[in-house]
Chain A
Amino acid sequence: MTFDVELTPLARLRPGELLDELSTEEGTVVLVGRGEVSMVVRLSPLGQVVLAAVRPGLTLVELESEVRSRIGEPEAGDASSLVRAAVMALLETAVLAVDPG
């Protein structure tokens, strides 16, 4: 699964086609895809926050703000870069989808 939509400031992020989601004390996995083509993806801690935050459909800037409000500033690194990296990873695995702005 790949994505080829440019992540512009107006592009709206939303959950991909998630067929199921399972959370335990270990973390969260989601099943993405349709029909015969499906894949289980294990989310990182930040990935879980991003997926939960993005459900209404948000731009990247809105998402960064929402993630900050949920978990605060990171102890190390730049929040924007970290969120963007998480978003890119989730787009690559189709956990997130993007609608061009």
Chain B
Amino acid sequence: MSVPASTPDGTGTRVFVDALGATVAIEVQDPRILRAVDRVWVACRTSPADGCPVAVAPRLGEDADDDDVARALQLLTQVVTRQAILARAGSMTMLHAAALCDQRSGATIALVAPGGTGKTTLARTLGRGRGYVTDETVAIAPDRSIAPYCKPLSLRRAGTNQPKDEIAPQSLGLTPPQVQPWLAGMVLLRRDLPDGGEIVVEDIALLDALVLLAPETSSLAALDRPLHRLADLVESVGGLRRVRYHDAADVEPVVRDVLGRPR
């Protein structure tokens, strides 16, 4: 783990994190946020890099409370993600997905879904004993290797209008990948079954897969021949499947199957 560095003007601290294979400097002025960043971004910490993108943490008022810190951390995570995506645009295929890998082979499943529809819950529920690659965005190189993004997980609180809490993966029993992850399979998640409904797994034809996946990509248009790149990726893992479910635990057999695939 690297030591935080002072900002160039000496008024704050920079914490460097590895996000999607890019180094991002988190710039913090407030000591309350710095303490929290130190704690929750621990799985992403990396060495300082000159000229890397900077994610500036929100400033807090003197009377800020714990909820304000939580909101600032949540916003900061979004800024880091945005900076990382911009840094990787044009080189990596990026999908809105949680991802888990086998800790020996690196075989990884991308669980593709829009924001707020269960990615974090799946990573948390099925990630123990596996490599936690991300709960947000998967960045895939043309050779199917994956740049992990072991960001803090954003957990909802019970009440409405409450900020999410950013939690370090280790605090939830999740560990970063121990070997290089590579994409072994991808599924599109739809949590639309009623309670007690049996999981449904459907094969999706290639062109339909592209239509469905495109909204769940970032910077797709920045790739060279983006549709061909996405189609090659889908075909290289045996196609896209749609998984309809209610309980995250029911997705376990699908994850186990993909993580058992040889490269």
Spell out A's residues near B (CB within 8 Å).
19-22, 24, 26-31, 33-36, 38-42
Q: Are A40 and B221 in contact (CB under 8 A)?
A: no
Residue in contact with A36 in the complex, picked from B207, B210, B219, CB distance below 8 Å: B219
| Leading 9 A-B pairs by shortest Cβ distance | A40-B214, A20-B227, A22-B227, A38-B221, A26-B207, A40-B211, A29-B207, A20-B226, A19-B221
- Where chain B touches its partner, the secondary structure class is helix
Contact count band on B: 10 to 19
The tally of CB-CB contacts under 8 A between chains A and B is 49
B215: chain A residues within 8 A (beta carbon): 39
A36: chain B residues within 8 A (beta carbon): 218-219, 221
Q: Are B221 and A31 in contact (CB under 8 A)?
A: yes
Given contacts A19-B221, A20-B226, A21-B227, contact A42 B214 (CB under 8 A): no
Given contacts A19-B221, A31-B214, A31-B221, contact A42 B207 (CB under 8 A): yes
Q: Are A20 and B225 in contact (CB under 8 A)?
A: yes
Q: Are B221 and A22 in contact (CB under 8 A)?
A: no
Beta-carbon nearest neighbor of B212 in chain A: A40
Q: Are B207 and A24 in contact (CB under 8 A)?
A: yes
Q: Are A39 and B214 in contact (CB under 8 A)?
A: yes
Q: Please give the distance in Å from B78's CB to the nearest CB on chain A.
A: 15
